[in-house]
Amino acid sequence: MLTFRLVVTMAVLWMLLSGYFKAQLLILGVMSVALVIYLAHRMGVLTHRGHPIYFRFFHIFKYWAWLAKEILVSNIDVTKRILSRQMPIRPTLRRVTATPKSDMGRAIYANSITLTPGTTAINFTPDGDILVHALHEDSLHELEGGEMAEHIKDVEPHFKPLEPAP
C-alpha cells in the first residue's frame, strides 16, 4: 500500500511540475518513478518503521501565522541592526534546549530557528540540544524563553504510547 501511494504521489508531482503531457516526457516520468521505487526498495526506505509525518492539522495554520509574524519582526530587527550604528551586533553561539517531544517536532524547531532571520540552527547535539548561531544574544534569550517550542508542541500529534507487541 505504501509503495502504491508513493507511486501515485510521485507521478502526480511529476505531471504537476513538468506541465507537459508529451509522450517523451511521460515515458521519462514513468522511468524516473520506476527508478526511485526500485532504489527505495533496495535501500529499505519503504520498510523502515520511522516516525510517520503527522501533525495536528488546524494547529499548523496557527503556527504558520505565528511564524510568519516572527519572521517579519526578526527581519525588521536585523535590518535595524545592520543600518543603525547604535544597535550592537554581537554574534553568539549557544546551545538551546529542544523541548518538542518528537523527532519531527525537533526538526520543525530547528528549521523554524533557521527561517527566522538573525538565527541559524547549526547542529543537534548528542544530548538533544540545538547549537544556534545568533546575530545578537537577544534572539537567543527569546528562544530560551520557549515561546517557539510551545507553539511547536501544539502542532505535534498527541499519540498514546504504543503497547508492546505480544
Q: Give residue 159's pLDDT.
A: 54
pLDDT tens string 125-139: 777 788 999 988 888
> Which pLDDT belongs to residue 142?
83
Measured CA to CA, the distance from residue 126 to residue 128 in angstroms comes to: 5
**Domain ranges (residues) in the chain:** 2-43, 57-150
Query: Is the pLDDT confidence value at 72 over 90?
Result: yes
| pLDDT range class, residue 68, cuts 50, 70, 90 | very high
Confidence of residue 54 (pLDDT cuts 50, 70, 90): low
Cα-to-chain-centroid distance, residue 79 = 25
Q: What percent of the chain has pLDDT over 70?
A: 89
CA 68: distance to chain centroid? 14
What is residue 67's predicted lDDT score, i.e. its pLDDT? 93
